[in-house]
Amino acid sequence: MAKITTATLKKMKQQGEKITTITAYDASFAKLFDQAGIHAILIGDSLGMVLQGHDDTLPVSIDDMAYHTLCVSRGVENTLIIADMPFMSFATPEQAYVNATKLMQSGASMVKIEGGQWLESTIKGLVERGIPVCAHLGLTPQSVNVFGGFKVQGRDNEQALAMIANAKALEAAGAQLLVLECIPSSLGKAITDAVAIPTIGIGAGKDTDGQILVMHDALGISCSYMPKFSRNFLIDTGDIKKAIELYITEVSNGNFPGPEHIFK
């Protein structure tokens, strides 16, 4: 497999090929996922929950993210590496530039930030400075206290229209990838059709350009619960590499997510 870039993912969208993404936090799993053919790896601030044992992602620091990004980068040859900007690490554009630099210097090829149109100037500034950006709409876990918990977003018409407008604005600002989390499948399709950049869904239906899962959920080893939008691929295979290969296959052929994994 050739080196995956943002241009690769955009071409996949244009050709109707599904993109598979998963989280990783260390070199060993990153290498295994890379060899299995995953298109992109996200070093997610989800590490606060699945590695550190917190109830949410808020305690994760930029130093935590830089450390795990460096670990993952040592295991990857071809897969695109995306690193999360943690809670309050991009409150101002200037702060975002400093913290995104730490992640890029640790081996990331792109940073991910959560939020809507208020991030336009930040995204524009990052891209102008040579830092590719993945945006994130829907259930943005860093805003869990504003939402009142981990709840599906965009179910009413006003919310849905606002999210479509946000997606277009973030694309116009320079975002090259868009994660959509926990939204109705119909909204996932509407946003995917509305933007030229690839969309990656997690609980956003099967019509997004790709899917992402937290590796602990995909392997059935999460210590809390299995989200509705996830599937334990390890139970079907009994082998981690085969589980990831099955995940790639099931996304590629349209079998995952199934009806039981989507929100209406």
pLDDT tens, 112-146?
Answer: 999 999 999 999 999 999 999 999 999 887 766 56
Tell me whether residue 196 is in a domain.
yes
Contact, 87 vs 93, CB < 8 A?
no
Distances 186 to 9, 66, 114, 145, 157 between C-alpha atoms, Å = 22, 36, 21, 26, 11
Model confidence pLDDT, tens digit, residues 174-232: 999 999 999 999 999 999 999 999 999 999 999 999 999 999 999 999 766 788 999 99
Q: Domain range for residue 115?
A: 6-261
> pLDDT tens digit string along 96-112?
999 999 999 999 999 99
Q: Which of 72, 75, 66 is nearest to 106 (CA)?
A: 66
Flag whether 104 is in a domain: yes
Q: What are phi and psi of 54, to 5 degrees?
A: -75, 165
Active site residue 181: yes
- Dihedral in degrees, nearest 10, Cα atoms 195, 127, 37, 53: -100
DSSP 18: P
Please report the beta strands in the chain, taking only residues with DSSP state E, as ranges in sequence order: 19-23, 40-43, 80-84, 110-114, 133-138, 177-181, 199-202, 210-213
| DSSP label at residue 53 | -
pLDDT, residue 151, reads 76
156 is in an annotated binding site: no
CB atoms within 10 A of CB 37: 16
pLDDT band at 148 (very low <50, low <70, confident <90, very high): low
Q: Do the domain assignments include residue 1?
A: no
Q: Record the pTM.
A: 0.95
Give the CA distances from residue 69 to residues 90, 104, 107, 232, in Å, rounded to whole numbers and listed in that order.
17, 9, 6, 25
Which secondary-structure segment (H or E) carries 64? helix 62-73
Q: Given 17, 94, 120, 181, which residue is catalytic? A: 181
Q: Is 55 annotated as a binding residue?
A: no
Q: Any idea what the CATH number is for the domain that residue 142 is in?
A: 3.20.20.60
- Looking at the structure of the chain, the number of domains it has is 1
The tally of CA atoms less than 13 A away on the side-chain side of residue 238 is 0
114 is known to lie in a ligand binding site? yes
143 among annotated binding-site residues: no
Residue 211 lies in a domain: yes
Does 112 carry a binding-site annotation?
A: yes
Average pLDDT over residues 8-29: 98
- Give the pLDDT confidence score for residue 125 in this predicted structure: 98
